[in-house]
Structure 1
Amino acid sequence: MVTLLHIDSSVLPGEASSSRSVTAAFRKAWEEQHPEGTVIYRDLAANPVPYMTAAAWSAGYTAPSERTPEQSTAFAVREKLMEELEQADAVLIGAPMHNFSIPSTLKAWLDNVLLLGRTAGESPSAEGTPVVVVASRGGSYAPGTPREGFDFVQNYLEAVLKRTLGLHLDFIVPELTMAPRNPAMSELIPLYEASRERAFEDATAKAMELAKRLAA
């Protein structure tokens, strides 16, 4: 029985969020392939994980028998989050661009699960696990666009998820999501609609391909 770890981080609820809409499409296709599988779901906007503290960080490099009560309590949260990542057969992350970067709640989750010598280092404990990131954004930051150099979402997540945690990373990028709301972007609505349709198609296709591959 396979396990999907599904993480959403958009501050917008339901269909108001492009990233949540696309991750929902991925999850629907995934569950159709694995109706008896397990989905671990974390909504980081509704239920944020704790931000990193000195106790939580230092506990990761302190023997359990030598931790203070504060360290032990803080590390118990990190332990659960790391175990969820390690137990997952695949990971799905909604990572909308907030002011050119990822939501702070998603950064907090990453800070909690990244531990040198366990999930990071020479032999990361979740190495090779496939992760699909829905990196939605209000504008376009593709090569050749005016704000090409302002995308600190994909570069950052590639550094952390792929190069540090050793996950097998894939992106789905719905862009121009502000076009229907911003009159100055109205001429870009057709491009937004095409990007949105492509994102839903990619989500379904990637979910089905990945689900079948893991079931083989």
Structure 2
Amino acid sequence: MATLLHIDSSVFPAEASASRVVTEAFRKHWQEEHPQGTVIYRDLAAQPVPHITADTHLAGFTDPATHTPEQAAAFAERVKLIEELEQADAVLIGAPMYNYTIPSTLKAWLDNVILMGRTAGETQSAKGTPVTIVASRGGSYAPGTPRESFEYVQNYLDAALGGGLGLEVHFIVPELTMATVNPAMADLVPLYEASRDRALEDAATKARELAKRVAA
């Protein structure tokens, strides 16, 4: 049966989070195609993974037989996260933009799963796995907009997940999400609503497409 690794990182609950609404829609359509499948879910806001420490980092480059007790314990947690990625047939990530980049909790997860000699480098043990990233943001950072040069979510994740891990990266981008709460953006509410609706449609389409591809 197919396995979906679903990761959320928004600090807001589902009803207040633009990224969670879209990842939930994706997951729903995926599960309709794979009702007997497995979903591994990690809410990084509710249960953050440990940040990389010296013990965790050094253990990744040394023989396990030489690990100190501290290194062994820290590395075991890292391996668990890596194995979840390796076992997934598809990955879904909610990655809202905070201060022009990804949440620190998502960065901590990436630091754990990016391991040279296993997931990264010449081996890339999860290479080819499709990953759908819901990259929500309060404004617009699309090509041609005034803030295009401040876009460090898609650029970074494409490099880290695509270039670094060899994953097949797809983005869904709900934008202008602050239009309904920021009076200065009131005129942009229709554009936000159109972006939201398009993101939900894209989530449904991509989920069904990937689910059928994995099942084939």
Q: State how far apart, in whole Å, the 2-side matches of 1:111 and 1:16 are.
A: 27
User: Which secondary structure state, in structure 1, belongs to the residue aligned with residue 126 of structure 2?
Assistant: coil
Q: State how far apart, in whole Å, the 2-side matches of 1:114 and 1:202 are.
A: 28
Residue 164 (structure 2) aligns with? 164
Alignment: residue pair count: 216
Q: State how far apart, in whole Å, the 2-side matches of 1:144 and 1:57 are.
A: 40
User: Which secondary structure state, in structure 1, belongs to the residue aligned with residue 164 of structure 2?
Assistant: coil
Deviations along 1:50-94, one digit per CA (max 9) or x if unpaired, are 001000000001111100001001001100000000000000000
Q: State how far apart, in whole Å, the 2-side matches of 1:28 and 1:49 are.
A: 25
Q: Which amino acid aligns with 2:114?
A: L
Q: State how far apart, in whole Å, the 2-side matches of 1:171 and 1:197 are.
A: 15
Q: State how far apart, in whole Å, the 1-side matches of 2:160 and 2:145 are.
A: 25
Q: Which amino acid aligns with 1:153?
A: V
Deviations along 1:165-211, one digit per CA (max 9) or x if unpaired, are 00000000000000000000000000000000000000000000110
Q: State how far apart, in whole Å, the 2-side matches of 1:145 and 1:128 are.
A: 32
Residue 212 (structure 1) aligns with? 212
Residue 36 in structure 1 maps to residue 32 in structure 2 = no
Give the drift of 1:123. Answer: 2.1
Residue 195 (structure 1) aligns with? 195
1:13-162 matched pairs, under 5 angstroms:
13-162=13-162
Q: State how far apart, in whole Å, the 1-side matches of 2:123 and 2:62 are.
A: 20
Deviations along 1:22-72, one digit per CA (max 9) or x if unpaired, are 000000000000000000000000000000100000000111110000100
User: Which secondary structure state, in structure 2, belongs to the residue aligned with residue 127 of structure 1?
Assistant: coil
- TM-score between both structures, scaled by the size of structure 2: 0.99
- TM-score between both structures, scaled by the size of structure 1: 0.99
Moved over 3 A (4+): none
Deviations along 1:134-165, one digit per CA (max 9) or x if unpaired, are 00000000111111100100000011000000
User: Which secondary structure state, in structure 2, belongs to the residue aligned with residue 178 of structure 1?
Assistant: coil
User: Which secondary structure state, in structure 1, belongs to the residue aligned with residue 196 of structure 2?
Assistant: helix
User: Which secondary structure state, in structure 2, belongs to the residue aligned with residue 99 of structure 1?
Assistant: coil
Q: State how far apart, in whole Å, the 2-side matches of 1:104 and 1:20 are.
A: 17
- For structure 2, the residue ranges without an aligned partner over 5 or more in a row are none
The percentage of aligned residue pairs carrying the same residue is 73
